[in-house]
Structures are given as structure tokens and as C-alpha cells.
């Protein structure tokens, strides 16, 4: 019997007369939980070096090993049942909480890989300084960072 899946994220679908429907239903809910407002702890290649808590997710790096082998670029979510993987879809956005500063902030999947959003600085310099305009621009940038549309300011 072929497992029925949703077309975009491969969530398991129930079949008529299927045994153990609760397992498929629970697996689908777990994957949805990972996908809603996706936040990853960081980018990693080796899951054996991590101490995940239930619900933690990581972005699988470019050279995955062990249980992540062959899952480069996917989101790996941990549950008591082990690792669950989500293949990204074009325009999918995640927030990366920690790690290398060049890999922290927001990232968008462009169909071939994850693109880390570059930091945008507020206005500086110039022969004529319009302090009101600079204040307004800084406020807009702060709001976009607060709602995680733009990456946080570098530390």
C-alpha cells in the first residue's frame, strides 16, 4: 500500500480502512507544529553533537552525517520518536536563533537553497542630514526587525 501524502510538505494522509490511523494523524500534527512559525536553533551537520529538547528544530547544513545523511537543506525536528524532516518549499521563511553570525536571523528558501537575509543599516553620512527622515527610517527598520521580516542588528 502506498502512503498517501500531501503534495507540498508530504504530510501523511489517512486511507480508508487504514490501521493505526492515530499514528499517521499524530505524525501530521507533529510536522504541522514544526512548520507553524518555523524557528530553528541553528545550522548543523551532525545530529550526534546536539542535545535536542522535544520540539527543537535545526536547519540541516550542506554536509550532513549520521541520521541526517542525505537531508541537506531540510529542517530537522526532534520529538520523542526521533528526527522528522521537512523539505522546504520555495519562498518558505525560517528564523535561525543562534550560531555563526553570518547564519543568524531570517532565511528564505529560493527553490535551490536557503538565503540568509542581509543586515540593513540605518541611514548615515551625507552632506545634508534630515534627522526627522532618519528617525522615521530607523523606526521602520526597527519594526521590521521586531516582526522578524529583517534580521536582528549584529551584536
Separation CA 32–CA 39 (nearest Å)? 13
Report CA-CA distances (Å) from 131 to 9, 124, 140, 144, 145.
47, 10, 14, 20, 21
Residue 14 pLDDT class (50, 70, 90 cuts):
confident
Separation CA 139–CA 109 (nearest Å)? 27
Q: 130 is written with which cell numbers?
A: 534630515
Residue 69 pLDDT class (50, 70, 90 cuts):
very high
pLDDT at 141 over 60: yes
Give the number of other Cβ atoms within 10 Å of residue 43's Cβ.
Answer: 20
Q: 114 is written with which cell numbers?
A: 536557503
Separation CA 54–CA 68 (nearest Å)? 17
Residue 154 pLDDT class (50, 70, 90 cuts):
very low
User: So where are the chain's domains?
Assistant: 1-36, 37-115, 118-146
Q: In this predicted model, which residue has the larger pLDDT, 70 or 101?
A: 70
Q: Quote the pLDDT of residue 2.
A: 60
pLDDT at 122 over 50: yes
88-111 pLDDT per residue, tens:
999 999 988 886 666 677 889 999
Separation CA 86–CA 32 (nearest Å)? 10
Q: In this predicted model, which residue has the larger pLDDT, 152 or 32?
A: 32
Separation CA 18–CA 31 (nearest Å)? 20
pLDDT at 127 over 70: yes
Q: In this predicted model, which residue has the larger pLDDT, 129 or 154?
A: 129
Report CA-CA distances (Å) from 141 to 91, 109, 145.
21, 22, 6
Separation CA 47–CA 59 (nearest Å)? 11
Amino acid at each position: 500500500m502506498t502512503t498517501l501524502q500531501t503534495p507540498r510538505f508530504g504530510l501523511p494522509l489517512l486511507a480508508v480502512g487504514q490501521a493505526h490511523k492515530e499514528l499517521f494523524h499524530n505524525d501530521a500534527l507533529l510536522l504541522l507544529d514544526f512548520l507553524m512559525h518555523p524557528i530553528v536553533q541553528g545550522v548543523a551537520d551532525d545530529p550526534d553533537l546536539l542535545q535536542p529538547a522535544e520540539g527543537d528544530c535545526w536547519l540541516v547544513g550542506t554536509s550532513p552525517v549520521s541520521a541526517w545523511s542525505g537531508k541537506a537543506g531540510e529542517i530537522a525536528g526532534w520529538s520523542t520518536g526521533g528526527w522528522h524532516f521537512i523539505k522546504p518549499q520555495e519562498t518558505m521563511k525560517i528564523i535561525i536563533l543562534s550560531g555563526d553570525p553570518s547564519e543568524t536571523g531570517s532565511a528564505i528558501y529560493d527553490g535551490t537553497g536557503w538565503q540568509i537575509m542581509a543586515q540593513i543599516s540605518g541611514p548615515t553620512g551625507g552632506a545634508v542630514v534630515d534627522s526627522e527622515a532618519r528617525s522615521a527610517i530607523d523606526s521602520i527598520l526597527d519594526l521590521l526587525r521586531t516582526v522578524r521580516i529583517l534580521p536582528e542588528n549584529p551584536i
